[in-house]
Structure 1
Amino acid sequence: MDITTRSFGKYKGVEYTEIIVKNDVGDCLIFSDLGARINQWLANDTINQPRSIVIGYDNAEQVFELDSYYYGATVGPVAGRIKDGRFDNNGEMVQLDCNDGKNHLHGGRSSWAFRKWDYSYKVENGEAIVMFTLVDDDKDSPYPGNVKAEVTYRVTNIHEWFITYRIVSDARTLINPTNHVYFNLNAALDRPIDNHSLYVNAERYLPVDEEHLPTGEKLPVEGTPFDYRTDQILAPWLNANHPQTKGANNGLDHAFELASGDGVKAWLYSPTTHWSIEVFTDQPYLVVYTHNYVDQEGKIAGIPRLKHAGITFETQAAPDAIHHKDFGKVVYEAGEVYESTTCYRLYRNVKVLDED
């Protein structure tokens, strides 16, 4: 297990850093203090050549130039949309900035995705640990309170990447972060994920309106393009004649209500590489987005952005949960600690769906 650092470049005079983690089984995960993000997850193919399975930025300037994609970032304090950018906080109306039409998205203009985080790292018990910390005070953010956020990444020698959040505020506020990682297991980012198979352990999904906000309903997945209780090839489902997938520009941009208990919550497989990813989380919802829009032109690793370039697994409470019952806990009192862990596990050259 080896950890090194290098420059991620500058933006507006601020220097950013990448933290490079190489485990003992051929994986290389590259993180950055810009947004506590993942930029690359490289795995060796059958001829021992490293291939990236996630979409990430080449340098800091790209992060800000192609800011609508949020590739690999820690987004917060609240992931997803908040209707009209406002909420009632114990009788006081809080107005957030509206950076997605008339709604607030992913923490707005002061999002954690574009902040410089402090970091430290170590190797402990044969695992690499990278800890990012951020103090987000109420002068930096429209959210109430001074927030202390810790995001710890742990890389193992069995192809696992763990994300653990520990967040606390000195005032009653909203907390609902996630990581906006995009996976593409084709080992070539110019090939869309339409050929991938997807499994999601969910009986219900949340339909959205024309602004991509949850309507408040929870609908059964059965008989819809949202039924991934057995793994399904994405292409026919993304292009299905269904108002919800059509409204998302032929794709998914929806939250799934995950089954309770332990075990695999989602699974993704590429027949091109025979690589798969399993997702484990203690969060109640999984937001799946299939990169349905290319609203900012630009190249990453020399490859133009394309529709369905990747797929996200955003573990969190549901978007706009502050305005809907039973969408997950997002309100935290002063001193109350938010803690959560998600794990992404890679299998190479084998089709695995471990439901034990």
Structure 2
Amino acid sequence: MSNWNNPGYAPPSGYPNQQYPPYPGAPQSGYPQPGYPQPGYPQPGYPQPGYPPSGGYPGAPPHGYPGGDQGYPAAPQPGFVPQPTGHYGHDAPVQQGEATPFSHRTDMYGTPYEDDSVKGFDFSDQSIRRGFIRKVYAILCAQLCVTLGFISWFLFHEPTKRYVQNNPALWIISFVVMFVTLIAITCCGEVRRKSPTNFILLGLFTLAESFMLGCTASRFNSQEVILAVGITAGVCLALTLFAFQTKWDFTTCTGFLFVAIIVLMLFGIFAIIFHNRILTLVYASAGALIFSFYLVYDTQLMMGGKHKYSLSPEEYIFAALSLYLDITRIFLYILTIIGASRN
């Protein structure tokens, strides 16, 4: 039994207040040191008067924590499900049950972008949009270079020029290839988004269209073709700058452009049956004007941003194809106008 339990036991001298039992490593006599703690400790006025607050911790009952008069956020109610936050180009936070972040945009046919290929894209992001535009114009420049090469080859190389003029079956074959690839790209969304199939189809289409344009240009004078190329380049550059700068939204004119192209097709059939120089000039002028509108329309579809409709960032092949068709149609109609005016 320890000595501490003995009623007559007294601790040895040297322990503070002679009240502690002995234990291994116990402090020696003189502990604690004289003058400890320092005089005047704690400081006068500590703790501060009025602490803790008489009203309780800020926001605590009876203030109604949280959400009381202190401005704290409201307390989650039973069964509360956190709502997603963030802005995906919206004016308000995304709410629970809302569609994909890109669902506020629709394509040229009015269909919301809710497919897996565009989930996670925020086309209002400047970096995504600029990258998409650069890719489209890079593909377009490659297409136009191939086309200019074919036109120059068929225009200035006499053996090739005579060969294609004497073999119209080549033009028919190229037209079939062009038409099939055009339908495959425009009507099959999965095909034009899948690489490298989309690039292969676009390459075949560009070669076929370039061959057809070369055959057509070979029947005109070289000066007329060069003049048409220059006018087309100036018109397309001006229209592109206009589409980037204007506040008018041409993406809402889908119905008007569709009706205009139908009327142009019917007028073209009429001009073929009743072949006349005046009808040819009117038809070519109307065609150049309508496809100029189409160039602005397709450019704004590619830009997105403030416009009502826009293309998905995955549709770079379709965007390049649309712009290429617009430019080549404008070139053909201008070439027809120049040729008809010179008889």
* Structure holding more helix per residue: 2
| TM-score exceeds 0.5 | no
* Structure holding more strand per residue: 1
TM-score, normalisation: structure 1: 0.24
TM-score, normalisation: structure 2: 0.25
Structure having the higher Rg:
2
